[in-house]
């Protein structure tokens, strides 16, 4: 190989190690830009009252790190209760999608019935609608159902996502037809084939949908902002906007609130990122 010969000459090796050093420098620079603001806020959330967070020569490391801000912010607004509300919405949507999107995806992929193509087309067609363009009518429906200002009202429109139905349909389509045929010969009915043949083959997709749904519910802002009014019902993002927008003037407390909204999601992501990047690739092409 000619490339192998190149690597053996000292000058090429030297210029290559310079290139590697240059790449590391640029990667570190972008990493600093990406995570710097978050680290700065983390540091602010750990600074004590004695330390000036507006100092002209601020220090990234807190002089006397303290967790006081995390308990004090809860005295200003019930921030942990808000976090619980976000989890409630996320759990409802995860359960709804795992049951509803899985069943619908399976029927569309593996069962023959009249109207199948039409229904598939309906799911596909909604992807061109920007969510914000239908939000007002959704809001009216939720209010008419008596679900305004409730967490169920926040969760309901996202209970079974069209994109998840389509992702699961694709996953089920990838299962070889022979597996189904063999099971039919063995006398398995449709529910048995669904449970014992199809489901074990789409566990990866189910994991991706679970992660994406959790993050989506946790980060969502516009919809819960519209639906919720009572201060005890807010989800975390709406509560955080409320915290920083109104009466709290201490940046340390706002920083603590921001960290409560950020840290769980970053930890979940860092642990599960392998699944995650695959999911983004699959979702983006259709999204």
CA distance 159 to 212: 13
CA distance 205 to 19: 38
Give every CB contact of residue 222 below 8 A, 6+ residues apart in sequence: 132, 135
Q: Please, which of residues 229-258 interact with other proteins by CB under 8 A? A: 229, 236-238, 240-241, 244-245, 251, 254-255, 257-258
Give every CB contact of residue 261 below 8 A, 6+ residues apart in sequence: 83, 218, 236, 237, 240
**Cβ distance to other proteins smaller for residue 48 or 264:** 264
Of 12, 21, 99, 174, the one binding other proteins by CB under 8 A: 99
Q: Please, which of residues 182-201 interact with other proteins by CB under 8 A? A: 184, 189-190
Four-residue CA torsion sign, 250, 60, 71, 218: positive
DSSP 200: G
Give the shortest CB-135-to-other proteins separation in angstroms.
7
Binding mask 205-234 for other proteins (x = CB under 8 A): ----------x--xx-xx--xx--x-----
Binding mask 48-87 for other proteins (x = CB under 8 A): ------xxxxx-----------------------------
Give the shortest CB-21-to-other proteins separation in angstroms.
11
Of 177, 178, 186, 200, the one binding other proteins by CB under 8 A: 177
Rg, the chain, Cα only: 25
User: Which region, judged by CB under 8 A, interacts with other proteins, from 62-70, 71-79, 196-204, 262-270?
Assistant: 262-270
3-state secondary structure of 123: helix
**Number of Cβ atoms within 10 Å of the Cβ of 204:** 13
2: exposed, middle or buried (Cβ count in 10 Å: 0-12, 13-18, 19+): exposed
Q: Please, which of residues 106-145 interact with other proteins by CB under 8 A? A: 106-108, 111-113, 116, 119, 122-123, 126-130, 132-141, 143
Count, residues near other proteins per rule CB under 8 A: 97
**Number of Cβ atoms within 10 Å of the Cβ of 243:** 22
**Cβ distance to other proteins smaller for residue 111 or 203:** 111
**Cβ distance to other proteins smaller for residue 11 or 34:** 34
Q: HSE on the CB side for 58, CA within 13 Å?
A: 13
Give the shortest CB-138-to-other proteins separation in angstroms.
5
- Find tokens 């920007």 and name the residue: 130
Of 68, 91, 100, 201, the one binding other proteins by CB under 8 A: 100
φ, ψ at 29 (rounded to 5°): -60, -50
Binding mask 27-46 for other proteins (x = CB under 8 A): x--xx-xxx-xx-xx--x--
Of 16, 23, 64, 195, the one binding other proteins by CB under 8 A: 23
Cβ–Cβ < 8 Å for 163, 284: no
Does residue 11 touch other proteins according to CB under 8 A?
no
């Amino acid at each position: 190989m000619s490339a192998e010969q190149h690597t053996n000459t000292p000058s090429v090796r030297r210029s290559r190690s310079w290139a590697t050093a240059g790449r590391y420098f640029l990667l570190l620079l972008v990493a600093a830009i990406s995570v710097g603001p978050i680290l700065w806020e983390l540091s602010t959330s750990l600074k004590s009252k004695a330390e000036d967070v507006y100092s002209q020569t601020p220090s990234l490391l807190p002089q006397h790190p303290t967790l006081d801000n995390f308990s004090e912010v809860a005295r200003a607004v019930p921030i942990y209760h808000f976090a619980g509300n976000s989890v409630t919405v996320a759990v409802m949507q995860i359960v709804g999608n795992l049951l509803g999107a899985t069943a619908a995806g399976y029927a569309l992929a593996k069962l023959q019935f009249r109207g199948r193509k039409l229904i598939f087309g309906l799911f596909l067609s909604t992807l061109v609608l920007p969510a914000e363009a239908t939000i007002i009518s959704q809001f009216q429906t939720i209010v008419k159902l008596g679900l305004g200002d409730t967490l169920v009202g926040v969760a309901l429109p996202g209970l079974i996502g069209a994109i998840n139905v389509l992702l699961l349909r694709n996953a089920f389509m990838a299962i070889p037809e022979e597996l189904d045929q063999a099971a039919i010969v063995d006398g398995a009915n449709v529910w048995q084939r669904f449970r014992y043949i199809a489901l074990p083959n789409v566990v990866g997709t189910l994991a991706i949908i679970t992660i994406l749904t959790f993050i989506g519910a946790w980060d969502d802002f516009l919809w819960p902002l519209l639906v919720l009014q009572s201060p005890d019902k807010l989800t975390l993002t709406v509560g955080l906007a409320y915290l920083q927008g109104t009466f709290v003037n201490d940046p340390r407390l706002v920083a603590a609130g921001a960290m409560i909204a950020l840290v769980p999601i970053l930890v979940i992501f860092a642990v599960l990122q392998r699944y995650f990047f695959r999911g983004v690739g699959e979702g983006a092409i259709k999204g």
